[in-house]
């Protein structure tokens, strides 16, 4: 009986997939830098500590939805804007040459 193991194609990623908090943090920092603003100014408008915003930007902390909304708003963004920007920077999931679904045995 044929096992099918000879048809298995190993999946390889070119780089490790970033964490969601890293992708969001990078977008927060990018937008703040683009606007030429200091962490303290954005943090003050958002109602968070500058140290906490710094940790968010570096992808060290996961923000609650309330904090994410406040920080995004302080940068004149919506959570939807921020989510869309962050999702563009995630590495796409690998696909199988034979189709969209890969199964591991």
Segment among 17-21, 38-42, 60-64, 76-80 with least mean pLDDT: 17-21
Q: What is the mean pLDDT of residues 18-34?
A: 95
Cα–Cα nearest to 31, from 84, 67, 82, 87: 82
Q: Give the start-to-end residue ranges of the domains of the chain.
A: 20-87
- What is the Cα–Cα distance from 60 to 79, expressed in whole angstroms? 19
**Which pLDDT band holds residue 18 (cuts at 50, 70, 90)?**
confident
Domain 20-87: homologous superfamily in CATH? lambda repressor-like DNA-binding domains (1.10.260.40)
Q: Are 63 and 86 in contact (CB under 8 A)?
A: no
Helix/strand/coil (H, E, C) string of 1-26?
A: CCCCHHHCCCCCCCCCCCCHHHHHHH
> 32-36: long-range contacts (C-beta < 8 A, 24 or more apart)?
32/57, 32/75, 35/75
Q: For 60-104, what is each residue's pLDDT tens digit?
A: 999 999 999 999 999 999 999 999 999 988 866 555 555 555 555
């Amino acid at each position: 009986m044929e096992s099918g193991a000879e048809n298995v194609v190993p999946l390889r990623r070119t780089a490790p997939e970033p964490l969601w908090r890293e992708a969001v943090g990078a977008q927060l920092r990018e937008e703040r830098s683009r606007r030429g603003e200091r962490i303290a100014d954005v943090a003050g408008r958002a109602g968070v500590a500058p140290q906490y915003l710094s940790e968010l930007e570096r992808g060290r902390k996961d923000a609650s939805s309330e904090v994410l909304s406040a920080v995004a708003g302080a940068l004149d963004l919506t959570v939807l804007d921020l989510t869309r920007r962050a999702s563009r920077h995630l590495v796409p999931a690998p696909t199988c040459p034979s189709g969209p679904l890969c199964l591991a045995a």
